[in-house]
């Protein structure tokens, strides 16, 4: 058996095309475009790449992109003051402060300062609470993108057994709650889980978000399982001095057992950015009382 490759790039392109149509409708009805403000503190190379990608996707969808690049020695007070300004700016529907932040800044303090109704990353404790209790709010973009890929591959998820490997606030916990919301039976596994392979082997759905390169092997999987690989790990490539990107799943062995699997890269990553743009559109629609026809 060879697994179906779940094409995150294609799924993200479809979602972004739907969003662009809705943005045009929104702009025609309200006289403005949704606006996303992205804040980058310092010169972390990976963060700079992410910010460029987000800005490009925002503009391509017909939205306003507001980039704020601050020096690495920016104080916590200066960053909080910028967040306050963005909270009060009517042109800004979504605020994203790129992580990680320099050591002099408390990331939790910054995240909780963002208006929860502009928190398109879905990291604010208010939005975490909304997700846990089933209230409308913003869901972190990566797990929401994973859920969309699962729904498109499997249809209804109701009654399926799901294992989420990883318990972070950004991916693992919200992913488990989303799967629970779709009536899966959910297990959260982590570094202290006893006999992890045996736990994973029971699952119809496996979401790997643990940050360890190629940890999940093919013989851990139930034949036909749907595998979503959230991991992005740099390892040494076949050529000396070159690195390559791999996931948390050993793709070579897993693709011979799984029914469907996301590749790395080209799986979850493109969906994360598409869902960020979607969240910004949803924020604008809520703030202006506009009803979306799709992409919601």
Within 35-171, residue ranges assigned H as helices are 45-60, 76-87, 107-113, 125-133, 141-154
Domain residue extents for the chain:
32-117, 141-270
Active-site entry in 18, 93, 119, 121 = 121
Instruction: Please write the tens of the pLDDT for every residue from 165-204.
Output: 999 999 999 999 999 999 999 999 998 999 999 999 999 9
- pLDDT value for 176: 98
Handedness of CA 143, 64, 98, 7 (dihedral sign): positive
Residue given tokens 């699962």 in the structure block = 150
Nearest-angstrom CA–CA distance, 123 and 141: 10
Quote the pLDDT of residue 296: 56
The mean pLDDT value for 267-274 works out to: 96
Query: Quick one: tokens of 53?
Result: 């990608």
pLDDT band for position 241 (cuts 50, 70, 90): low
For the chain, first and last CA: distance in Å?
Answer: 36
Phi, psi of 219 (to 5 degrees): -80, 0
- Residue 133's pLDDT is 96
pLDDT digits (tens, 9 = 90+) for 132-160: 999 999 999 999 999 999 999 999 999 99
Write out pLDDT tens, residues 13-58.
999 999 999 999 999 999 999 999 999 999 888 888 889 999 999 9
**Catalytic residue (one of 98, 119, 204, 248):** 98
Q: Which residue has the higher pLDDT, 241 or 225?
A: 225
User: Six-digit token pair at 58?
Assistant: 């925002």
Q: Is 121 a catalytic residue?
A: yes
Find the largest Cα–Cα distance for the chain: 57
Active site residue 54: yes
With contact defined as beta carbons under 8 Å apart, do 227 and 221 qualify? Answer: yes
Asked about 202 being catalytic, the answer comes back as no
Q: Which fold has domain 32-117?
A: Rossmann fold (3.40.50)
Is pLDDT at 243 greater than 90 in this prediction?
no
- Cα(198)–Cα(120) distance, rounded to whole angstroms? 36
Q: Which residue has the tokens 């094409």?
A: 7
How far apart, in whole angstroms, are the C-alpha atoms of residue 75 and residue 266? 36
Instruction: Tell me the average pLDDT across 235-242.
Output: 74
Integer Cα distance of 198 and 172 in angstroms: 19
CATH match for 141-270 among 3.40.50.720, 3.40.50.2300, 3.30.420.40, 3.40.710.10: 3.40.50.720
Using CA atoms, how far residue 47 sits from 91, 172, 193, in Å, is 24, 21, 32
The predicted pLDDT at position 239 comes to 67
* pLDDT value for 50: 86
Mean pLDDT over the full length of the chain: 95
What average pLDDT does range 234-263 have in this prediction?
Answer: 89
**Local structure of 116: helix, strand or coil:** helix
pLDDT score, position 159: 98
- Do the domains 141-270 and 32-117 match in fold? yes
| pTM listed for this prediction | 0.94
């Amino acid at each position: 058996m060879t697994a179906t490759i779940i094409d995150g790039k294609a799924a993200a392109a479809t979602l972004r095309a739907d969003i662009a149509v809705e943005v045009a409708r929104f702009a025609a009805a309200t006289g403005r475009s949704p606006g996303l403000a992205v804040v980058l503190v310092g010169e972390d190379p990976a963060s700079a790449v992410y910010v460029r990608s987000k800005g490009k996707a925002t503009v391509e969808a017909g939205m306003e992109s507001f980039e704020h690049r601050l020096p690495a020695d920016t104080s916590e007070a200066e960053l909080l003051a910028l967040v306050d300004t963005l909270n009060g700016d009517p042109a800004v529907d979504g605020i994203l402060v790129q992580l990680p932040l320099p050591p002099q800044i408390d990331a939790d303090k910054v995240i909780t300062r963002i208006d929860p109704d502009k928190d398109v990353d879905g990291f604010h404790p208010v939005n975490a609470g909304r997700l846990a209790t089933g209230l409308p709010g913003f869901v972190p973009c990566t797990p929401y993108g994973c859920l969309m890929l699962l729904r498109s591959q499997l249809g209804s998820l109701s009654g399926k057994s799901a294992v989420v490997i990883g318990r972070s606030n950004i991916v693992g916990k919200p992913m488990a709650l989303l799967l629970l919301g779709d009536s899966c039976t959910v297990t959260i596994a982590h570094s202290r889980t006893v006999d992890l392979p045996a736990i994973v082997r029971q699952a119809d759905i496996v979401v790997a978000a643990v940050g360890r390169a190629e940890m999940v092997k093919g013989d851990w999987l139930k034949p036909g399982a749907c595998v979503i690989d959230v991991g992005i790990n740099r390892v040494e490539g076949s050529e000396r001095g070159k690195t390559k990107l791999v996931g948390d799943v050993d793709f070579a062995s897993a693709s011979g057992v799984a029914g469907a699997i996301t590749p790395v890269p080209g799986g979850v990553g493109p969906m994360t950015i598409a869902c960020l743009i979607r969240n910004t559109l949803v924020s604008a629609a809520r703030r202006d009382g506009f009803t979306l026809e799709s992409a919601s």
